[in-house]
Amino acid sequence: MDDDRSRRSLPLSGILIADFGRVLAAPYATMLLADLGAEVIKIERPGTGDDTRAWGPPFADDESTYFLSVNRNKRSFAADLEDPADLAAVHELVRRADVLIENFRPDSLARHGLDYDAARSLNPGIVYCSVTGFGAGSGGRLPGYDLLVQAVGGLMSVTGPGPGQPVKTGVALVDVLTGLHAAVGILAALRHREATGEGQRVEVNLLGTLLSSMVNQSAGFTAGDVVPGILGNRHPSIAPYEVFEAADRPFVLAVGNDRQFAALCDVLGLPELVEDPRFATNPARVAQVEQLADRLNARLRTRSAADWYERLTPRGVPCGPVNDLAGAFALAEKLGLAPRVDIGSEDEGISLVANPIGLSATPPVYHSRPPRLGEHTAELRAWLEASKEQT
């Protein structure tokens, strides 16, 4: 099936994934796995496909950049699950697949013979990953949208300019984190199957992912019975760790220890703060965060963000301007991180964000641009028919 010889040495070469995922969390997971060599076949509804194909602007020509962001290295198979011939082809794909991933509401695939039990009967070794908003139990019928989960899951209660002003993150962060958890779960299940020959079900949900990903804030509640609130750009346990005011633009200091604080004060010409008992230790600085911010802002306003960055960075003080995405990509390129990749032919090429995982022996590959709807349906049908004839 895999016609790209360069992928045969990749860590996931030979792994076939039937991708029933839509929108963001599941497609992000399968894109990461595809970058590492897995063969991903994206099953889509004829005529409309993944919902995100219509999400825009922005568009690149006539394609949604939202869809493009999480669907490279995949093949698109347009299949109507209500059509007996299409469903038979999909069942054959499941028989051949190593992994099936889906984010339908619980049990909605059962009437097509594509729920976990049915898939396992077709393919006992399959790794079946379900992505839901609120689990498969009593929350199974709740719609799992990222904004909704940010709200009910507590993230917005600690995010915003101040108390009573909850704000969502600027990207669907919970979906992305859930996709990462799904990928980790799939890899763990594949390793288990390699050792035992047994497939299994992998389940991840947006709410559980968010509660886990809120790390110190969640642990403050579970272990310390502390319900955190909105601190704006401040940190509940570290200071100075927030956005300050340089002469020309916002400027971040992320001082994590007393040594860094001493270096900061030396560069700013405020050595007296190091000996001041109100600021000498991190717990003291957290307790006096307002007074500390006033003293620092008064000095930081005297120079540009670039000037402070050039002075503070060599001294080991974590700092930087608040960049827009153009500035962020420019910084990554300056640091040699190669954040962009160009995929596809000269006529149909697209520039996308690189996979951030570095592997010295088997780095990610980018063999194909995100597919057009149903682009590979004919060749996949032919392959599945040939597969049936061989069995």
Strand positions, DSSP E, 92-181: 99-102, 127-132
What is the three-class DSSP state of 313? helix
Contact between residue 357 and residue 364 where contact means Cβ atoms under 8 Å apart = yes
- Most distant pair of Cα atoms in the chain: their distance: 82
Neighbours of 38 (CB within 10 A): 27
DSSP 375: T
CA angle 108, 109, 110 (to 5 degrees): 90
Of 236, 221, 61, nearest to 154 (Cα)? 221
Among 175, 248, 258, 276, the one annotated catalytic: 175
Tokens of 241: 């760790």
* Rg of the chain on CA atoms, in Å: 25
| C-alpha dihedral (230, 234, 235, 238), degrees to nearest 10 | -150
The string over 231-266, giving b where at least 16 C-beta atoms fall within 10 Å of a residue's C-beta and e elsewhere, is: beebbeebbbbbebebeeeebbbebeeeebbbbbbe
Query: To which residue do tokens 């299409």 refer?
Result: 86
Write down the residue that tokens 């633009």 correspond to: 249
Is the previous residue joined to 271 through a cis bond, with omega within 30 degrees of 0?
no
Does 175 participate in catalysis according to the annotation? Answer: yes
Classified as helix, coil or strand, 350 is strand
234, two tokens: 């401040």
User: DSSP assignment, residue 335?
Assistant: T
DSSP β-ladder status, 241-245 and 250-254: antiparallel
85 Cβ contact list (under 8 Å, min separation 6):
none
Contact in structure between 317 and 255 (CB atoms under 8 Å): yes
Note whether 169 and 155 are within 8 A (CB): yes
Amino acid at 2: D
Active-site positions read 175
